[in-house]
Amino acid sequence: MVDGRDAPCVLLCGLPSVGKTTLATGLVSALVADDVAVEHLDGDVLRRVVSPELGFSEADRHLQGLRAGYIAGLLARHGVVVVLSLVAPLERTRRAMAASVPGDLYIVHVNASRKTRLARDTNGVYAACVERGDVDFVDVEAVWEPPADAALTMATDAVAVDVCVDRIAELIPRGG
């Protein structure tokens, strides 16, 4: 366990292509180097493996977050620090996720400019919208509610990945 109690969870949330998975990968590597038991739950992987039947409606996005929170809670109860990288666009979903984990849930709002997101577009989300002619899309046809209670906000187009990772890692208590 981390600090003798249930392990904390870190939710890296933000719009598509802001760098959530990149930061999560770096954070996991940093924690492993510090001999911390850690697991990464990535939204794209969970959607493919755990929730392939879900689409991108508000209800489906909420259910995806609930499932991720449940899994994170199971791991955290066994002393595993969980790093989640999900869009998690709804405040009610993030609140439900926090209620599912036994320890702290540190919410990190990861963001980048629209120009950067369009350039990165790792999953082709923005390209598909543009192809359909959705030039005024509200960042992928869904509601996005920025977290009001984020422990950190990281602008990945302004701050280097290693600096972001170090700042996020500082949130996680360690020691005996």
Q: Are 106 and 8 in contact (CB under 8 A)?
A: yes
- Domain ranges for the chain, please list them: 9-113+143-169
Distance, CA of 28 to CA of 13 (rounded, Å): 16
Q: Give tens-digit pLDDT for 155-165.
A: 999 999 999 99
Report phi then psi at 86, rounded to 5: -140, 150
Q: Give tens-digit pLDDT for 2-39.
A: 545 699 999 999 988 889 999 999 999 999 999 999 99
Q: Percentage of the chain surpassing pLDDT 90?
A: 64
Q: Which CATH number fits domain 9-113+143-169: 3.40.50.10330, 3.30.1330.20, 3.90.1150.180, 3.40.50.300?
A: 3.40.50.300
The pTM for the full model equals 0.88
The SS3 call for residue 108 is strand
Q: Give tens-digit pLDDT for 73-132.
A: 999 999 999 999 998 999 999 999 999 999 999 999 999 888 888 787 777 766 676 666
